[in-house]
Amino acid sequence: MADLFDIVVVGAGPAGSMAAWSAALTGRRVCLLERKSEVGIPVRCGEGIGVKGFSLSLDVRPEWIRCTVKQTAMVSPSGIKVQIGNVDESYTLDRERMDADLVREAVSAGAEFRNSFPVLSITRSQEGYQCSGPAGNVCAKIVILADGVESRLARFGGWDTTLRLADIETCAFTRVFSPLIEKETCIFFTGSSVAPGGYAWIFPRGAGEANVGLGISGDRSEAGKARELLKRFIDKELPGSRIGTVHCGGVPVSRWVRPLVKEGIMLVGDAARQVNCLSGAGIGYSLFAGKLCGRVAGEALKGDSVDYNHLKIYEKVWKKRFGKQVDRSFSLKEFLAKHTDDRFLDRIAQSLSKEDPANTSYLRVFVKTFSRHPLLLLKAAKLFR
């Protein structure tokens, strides 16, 4: 026996919770499934997001903000530090609290939430689709998959979910407590000895606490390497600090999945590869795509039938608003992977270090990087506009 709903959302991260909330607001019967017992735990994320990206989808709640970030710094392989003062305001979030609140909003809007409910398979049924796992079966006319980069559930809808090693970052992350942590400043570190094919980061959370992590390209990784490099990085940059539990995982840095919809199954968030391929940032994209996906799914239900053509509006709007940005970030990532090394990064840093930090922006960094490549420079300009 299976419980029947109009829409089932698999995964209660930001994308899934926003999809369930948005779908429930259309008056549909919605069920949100989460494999873990607690939402948002453990956090495997730097928790950084720009104010602009956040405000597109949600009103920012003060209780979700751990720290307001007002400037950024980048450190080259040889240790040249470049201050970037001309940046949009951003936040370091409390993802545990925010994720839990988003689930509560979905429930308040009418969605049913079931935790400790892993989904192992999706099959066609008379009602539409049946999501099955050890905790039971749930059926719905539409299924929204928001279950992250690790999931293979999209395969049941006909997608090939495999990624090239170069299109995934192997990441290690922890919370660090140290008096050496800079307030209101995010710091990024590059270099083959720090994070080959990626970067390390320190995102302040206030009160001498920070999210510290790194990501390395999958084609330069091996078992345990990210964890080992993270320990080495913390020992060097924040010696004597108190370190929390280390968590590891993957971040997709590939082109976003096409199509995003097949019949009555929709992909959103990391499952759809809706991530900035340069930075690995995806919270803002997930919030926007989840909200859009859920609304379109609710609107596509006409009595007991589904207007599958209407579901495709989700991809059209995503592509126009953010899809092209992700594609540009992928092209820039591909170039950097093939054409940059430690010496190149040091030369760029040396040049930028002579400029006024107040006039230095992310776009200025990429102007320097791609100055001899007009097409890539145009992509960078559009990415940061």
Mean pLDDT of 63-70: 92
B/e letters for 97-114, b = 16+ CB within 10 Å, e = fewer, are ebbbbbbebbbebbbbbe
Q: Would you tell me how many other CB atoms lie within 10 Å of the CB of residue 155?
A: 13
Asked if 317 and 297 count as a contact pair (C-beta separation under 8 A), the reply is no
Strands (E) in 94-233, as ranges, are 112-114, 121-125, 128-133, 136-145, 168-177, 185-189, 199-206, 209-217
367 has a pLDDT exceeding 80: no
- Chain segment 251-274, per-residue pLDDT in tens: 999 999 999 999 999 999 999 999
- For the record, the structure tokens of 257 come out as 């999945």
- Chain segment 217-251, per-residue pLDDT in tens: 999 999 999 999 999 999 999 999 999 999 998 99
Mean pLDDT of 35-62: 85
Spatial strand order in the sheet of 90-93: 48-50, 90-93, 65-69
Of all residues in the chain, what percent carry a pLDDT higher than 90?
A: 72
Alpha-carbon distance 80 to 50, whole Å? 25
pLDDT band at 385 (very low <50, low <70, confident <90, very high): low
Q: Which domains does the chain have, with CATH numbers?
A: 3-44+95-163+254-331 (3.50.50.60)
Mean pLDDT of 101-115: 98
Question: In this predicted structure, what is the pLDDT of residue 270?
Answer: 95
Q: What is the rounded average pLDDT for all residues in the chain?
A: 91
- Chain segment 149-185, per-residue pLDDT in tens: 888 899 999 999 899 999 999 999 999 999 999 988 9
Alpha-carbon distance 65 to 55, whole Å? 13
The residues, ordered by sequence, that sit 6+ positions from 247 with a Cβ below 8 Å of its Cβ are 42, 43, 44, 172, 173, 174
Question: In this predicted structure, what is the pLDDT of residue 375?
Answer: 66
Question: In this predicted structure, what is the pLDDT of residue 258?
Answer: 96
27 has a pLDDT exceeding 90: yes
